[in-house]
Amino acid sequence: MAWNPDEALKDPALETRARSISAELRCLVCQNQSIDDSDADLARDLRVLVRERLVAGDTDRQVFDYVVARYGEFVLLKPRMGAKTWLLWGLPAALLLAGCGALFLGDRKRNNSRALPELSDSEKERVAKILQQQ
């Protein structure tokens, strides 16, 4: 853990909440670590900010909302499910389905255009003669 003992709050309940919140916030410098695990200066500043908000009486949700308002959704290690998130996950699936549908319809249209034309009467007679000879 990268947090420093001098950052710890005197109230154990608030410190537990602060650690829980810090574990869910992304270090914007490291990007693959929580601010609780990061040694970056910005991560330290965010840990201090979280503790200041908790001491001021904010709920966990208010702390998350405050940090997201300042740094954007990217700061959350587990993004919230909203319209943007659904679009991010749903758009590739929709494009894949549309592509498969286009391939299916294109193949079907191509197969229909390959249909052989109807035989003329003279061709039908010729085929009949060939079949009778065998």
Whole-angstrom distance, CA of residue 122 vs CA of residue 31: 78
Q: Tell me the chain's radius of gyration from C-alpha atoms.
A: 33
pLDDT digits (tens, 9 = 90+) for 22-42: 999 999 888 788 998 888 889
Per-residue model confidence as pLDDT tens digits over 40-86: 889 999 999 999 999 999 999 999 999 999 998 889 988 777 777 77
- Overall pTM > 0.85: no
Q: How confident is the model at residue 1, as a pLDDT?
A: 52
Residue in 98, 21, 77, 79 with CA at minimum distance from that of residue 53: 21
Report the share of the chain in percent with pLDDT over 90.
36
